[in-house]
Amino acid sequence: MLKYAMEILLSESSVITSHYFNWNTSSVAIFLAILGLTVLPINAVVGTYISNMFEDRQLLMASQITLLVGIIFSFKVTSTYSVIQYVVSALVTFVSAEVLEGVNLSLLSSVMSSRLSRGTYNGGLLSTEAGTLARVVADCTITAAGYLGIGSLLNVTLLPSLVICAASIACTFLTYNSLF
């Protein structure tokens, strides 16, 4: 879910920003660079401070809910779509997905079988392959939505992210007491 949401955000950013805000390539590059610069500070804060104050399952639920909020605010629901709405929702989505990735890997390491932590076909490889598959599906979603026209690209590509995120939250809620 998080790789899918991040891929939708990052891959269609140049198309969305040029369509709605007339951004050129340099503006999109600066925007994406600023998003990328948030990775290390956010992971440092979460890894050093926040993970010591909360359980992984609490961070999992909070980051999923925050990701859902970011996705919801990304939708174009009125006749105007502002730069502030896009930038803030993209920042919330990106940062939440980064936090979620760290929490997921932490939970995976605590429940993963010791057999999956050795050898070539280990948990890390499986996690990477699942992320790659999610990126491919996201890129196919963007391509398919592109046939519907640029005006509907944003909402059409965000809808699966919304559904997948809501389903993930429901699954986390139902299995919350079994998470470590």
- The CATH H-level (homologous superfamily) assignment of domain 1-177 is MFS general substrate transporter like domains (1.20.1250.20)
**pLDDT above 80 (res 135):** yes
User: Looking at residue 177, what is its pLDDT?
Assistant: 81
Sign, CA dihedral 145-151-152-155, equals positive
Query: What was the pLDDT predicted at 122?
Result: 73
pLDDT tens track for 15-74: 999 999 999 999 999 999 999 999 999 989 988 898 889 988 899 999 999 999 999 999
Fill in the DSSP letter of residue 75: S
DSSP assignment of 99-126, as one string? HHHHHHHHHHHHHS-GGGGSSSS-HHHH
Cα dihedral 78, 83, 89, 94 sign: positive
Query: According to the model, what pLDDT value does residue 57 have?
Result: 86
